[in-house]
Amino acid sequence: MNSRSADAVEPDRTGADSAPPGRGSWRRLAVILIALGGAGGIVLGIGFLTFVSCLARTERPPLAYADGIVALTGGAQRIGDAIDLLAAGYGRRLLISGVNERTSREEIARLNPGQQHLFACCVDLDYRARNTIGNAIETRRWMRENGFRSVAVVTSNYHMPRTLLEIGHALADGNRVVPHPVVHDGFDPDAWWHHPASARLLASEYVKFLVAWLRTRFETDPEDSRAAVLMSRGRPLKVVAEPLVR
């Protein structure tokens, strides 16, 4: 009688052991995912602030002379600064990379009336580069064609980190790159949070820099880059960067 009573009150543990995880397990998983996401957000935020803090605030003469000068299109001020460097003897030739097909040499020369004589002797135009990867490929080809071992790079201050990354990846060891960041009027990296357009520009450039950094860890040569083709809307790489037009 006592034995039957004990069996009657003994709980059935089989069902408890086979029950699916309760809400507590899902909550712990959610907390872990939120913590990881928060940590990742903090790392990205610190990286972004570091990226912004490293941008040039003022324009200064290059720290060294170079064999050639490369200006990446994207603003008339870049080309004007590059031509001034050429006139001052900071390089022997100038490559303007990424020129629009509808822009002629004469039009560019007219924008710089005081230096038109330099266009007749010392300026090369690249009409093929469609992105920063293409700029790097064209820079390498141009340097090899002219036997240059060093180059001064002219582009906007916010674009300079990614440009140096791409050109450094394309060039062989032993080549020297001298940055000349252009600081555009009205763009203040110290007050970007007051200007939504500046904030979007810096955030976009930071993400592109991270993607480029990751891509260059795995690619050995930019001319084999699938990313270059994708960024050029599927066009083959020979269209992204082709021999120079002078």
Q: Is the pLDDT of residue 246 over 50?
A: no
**Is residue 159's pLDDT more than 80?**
yes
pLDDT beyond 70 at 234 = no
Q: 164 is written with which tokens? A: 């140096």
Q: Which residues contact 137 (CB under 8 A, 6 or more apart)?
A: 129, 170, 222, 223, 228, 237, 240, 241
SS3 222: helix
Q: What is the number of alpha carbons within 13 Å of residue 102 lying toward its C-beta?
A: 0
Instruction: Say which residue, 103 or 233, is predicted with more confidence.
Output: 103
Q: Which residues of 117-146 are buried (b: 16+ CB within 10 A; e: fewer)?
A: ebbeebbbbbbbbbbbbbbbbbbbbbbeeb
Q: What is the pLDDT of residue 22?
A: 63
pLDDT digits (tens, 9 = 90+) for 168-182: 999 978 899 999 999
CB contact at 8 A, 91 and 69: yes
The pLDDT score that the predictor gives to residue 231 is 64
Q: Which residue has the higher pLDDT, 136 or 190?
A: 136
Calculate what percentage of the chain has a pLDDT beyond 70. 83
Give me the phi and psi of 182, to 5 degrees please. Answer: -95, 130
Backbone angles phi, psi at 187, to 5 degrees: -110, 110
Q: How far apart are the first and last CA of the chain?
A: 108
Of 19-28, 79-88, 172-181, least confident by mean pLDDT is 19-28
To 10 degrees, the CA torsion angle through 71, 135, 68, 111?
Answer: -30
Mean pLDDT is lowest, of 53-57, 125-129, 189-193, for 189-193
pTM: 0.80
